[in-house]
Amino acid sequence: MPDLAHGDDHDVADDLDIEQPLALVRYLRQTGRIAPGEVPVVRTLPGGVSNRVVLVERPGGEAWVVKQALAKLRVAVDWFSPPERIGREALGLRWLTRLAPGSTPRLLFEDPAHHLLAMAAVPQPHANWKTLLLGGPPDPDHVAQFGALLGTIHRRGHAARRELEPVFADRSYFESLRLEPYFGFAAEREPAAAAFLAALGAEIRQHRLTLVHGDYSPKNVLVHAGRLVLLDHEVIHFGDPAFDLGFSLTHLLSKANHLPAHRDAFAAAATAYWRTYRDTLGAAPWTAGLEPRAVRATLGCLLARVAGRSPLEYLDAAGRDRQQAAVLALIAEPPCTVPDLVRGFIARLSGR
């Protein structure tokens, strides 16, 4: 156990590593975030791939999460991304609090020089929604909240576009962490889908409609007291809402593939998710063409999560092959609606 009560007489290092408890406590004291003699309990949280994520429990009972962006992601292949993206996450936290109050943790402070921010910790007990889903079947209320939250972000993001577009116009993180590794890499691996993926990437780049989270995954959702809390906003940008739909529907449908005992429940959840989203979004003219584009984005993401740079870890080789074959059959003539996509995907998984 490091002695957190001592060691204050160093300057804050430029290469501060918040996973080093002594260094983090020294930093929090020297920057006046905590009192000079205060001794918090600090613990690294698991699950961070592109960030260091540390829980700080203060003696008064308050709990913070400090998040520091890494330049090199913790994945099997070499994958780099500028750590300045933590600034994007802080902007995301600020704006999501305005657009969808109570759905994200409160931002406490940010420090661009050390590529970190601090937010309120989601209180215990809480569960990661991905963990709950892998235990199946999905809770319909959680699914409805997931759809309503995305619909709210997209609807209000579009309404506030004059303010939002200039703030979130840069899409370089979205390009390097999503479009290239998902669609670009999968296109190289799967030539039969290359033209489809290139066209999909082009149409996603073309549509600049609203605030897009970019990482709208059950893994980035905690469930506390029955409410969903959304985390991890580093690829948020102004762009095409079809991407968030494709990315998130992929998680529900890949679990339908992975968990045959709950296949029908996950299929129903995917359709219910879409309906709640659409009812929350409303039928404004700017949403024309969104549903078929969301279907294509889902097909692209379903393929990318078995043939891209970031494959789903829970699918085995047979599961990956099943998913790939189903997608390749469907991209020949993509369905126009989400319910048709769900039916077609499930039928091909089950050999029906």
Ligand X SMILES: Nc1ncnc2c1ncn2[C@@H]1O[C@H](COP(=O)(O)OP(=O)(O)O)[C@@H](O)[C@H]1O
In the complex, the residues that contact Mg ion under the rule CB under 5 A are 220, 232
C-beta of 121 vs 267, nearer to ligand X: 121
C-beta of 64 vs 185, nearer to ligand X: 64
Closest CA to 213 of 115, 313, 91: 91
C-beta of 23 vs 231, nearer to Mg ion: 231
* 45 binds, options ligand X, Mg ion, none, Cβ within 5 to 8 A by partner type: ligand X
Task: State the nearest-atom distance from the C-beta of 154 to ligand X, in Å.
Answer: 21
Burial track 177-200 (b if 16+ CB lie within 10 A, e otherwise): bbbebbbbbbbeebeebeebbeeb
Task: State the nearest-atom distance from the C-beta of 87 to ligand X, in Å.
Answer: 14
* 119 binds, options ligand X, Mg ion, none, Cβ within 5 to 8 A by partner type: ligand X
Task: State the nearest-atom distance from the C-beta of 63 to ligand X, in Å.
Answer: 8
Torsion angle of C-alpha atoms 116, 170, 233, 119, degrees rounded to 10? 40
C-beta of 30 vs 220, nearer to Mg ion: 220
* 122 binds, options ligand X, Mg ion, none, Cβ within 5 to 8 A by partner type: ligand X
- Phi and psi, residue 143, nearest 5°: -60, -45
Q: Let me know: does 40 contact 58? Beta carbons within 8 Å.
A: yes
* 280 binds, options ligand X, Mg ion, none, Cβ within 5 to 8 A by partner type: none
C-beta of 24 vs 119, nearer to ligand X: 119
C-beta of 180 vs 203, nearer to ligand X: 180
* 121 binds, options ligand X, Mg ion, none, Cβ within 5 to 8 A by partner type: ligand X
C-beta of 227 vs 275, nearer to ligand X: 227
Closest CA to 238 of 349, 35, 50, 92: 92
Closest CA to 144 of 294, 342, 277: 277
* 50 binds, options ligand X, Mg ion, none, Cβ within 5 to 8 A by partner type: ligand X
C-beta of 26 vs 233, nearer to Mg ion: 233
Task: State the nearest-atom distance from the C-beta of 322 to ligand X, in Å.
Answer: 27
Task: State the nearest-atom distance from the C-beta of 88 to ligand X, in Å.
Answer: 12
Task: State the nearest-atom distance from the C-beta of 285 to Mg ion, in Å.
Answer: 34
Closest CA to 319 of 269, 270, 254, 268: 254
* 334 binds, options Mg ion, ligand X, none, Cβ within 5 to 8 A by partner type: none
Query: Which parts of this chain interact with ligand X (CB under 6 A)?
Result: 45, 47-51, 53, 65, 67, 105, 119, 121-122, 128, 220, 231-232
Task: State the nearest-atom distance from the C-beta of 268 to ligand X, in Å.
Answer: 26
Closest CA to 235 of 297, 172, 185: 172
* 350 binds, options Mg ion, ligand X, none, Cβ within 5 to 8 A by partner type: none
Residue 44 zone, left/alpha/beta (φ > 0; ψ -120 to 50; rest)? beta
Q: Let me know: does 241 contact 290? Beta carbons within 8 Å.
A: yes
Task: State the nearest-atom distance from the C-beta of 89 to Mg ion, in Å.
Answer: 10
Q: Which residue has the CB atom at the shortest distance from Mg ion?
A: 232
C-beta of 73 vs 327, nearer to Mg ion: 73
Number of H helices, E strands in the chain: 13, 10
Q: Which residue has the CB atom at the shortest distance from ligand X?
A: 48
Peptide bond into 83 cis (omega under 30): no
Calpha distance 248→144 (Å, rounded): 13
Task: State the nearest-atom distance from the C-beta of 261 to ligand X, in Å.
Answer: 26
- Phi and psi, residue 127, nearest 5°: -130, 150
In angstroms, what CA-CA distances link 295 with 98, 132, 153, 194, 331? 29, 25, 20, 17, 10
- Phi and psi, residue 282, nearest 5°: 80, 170
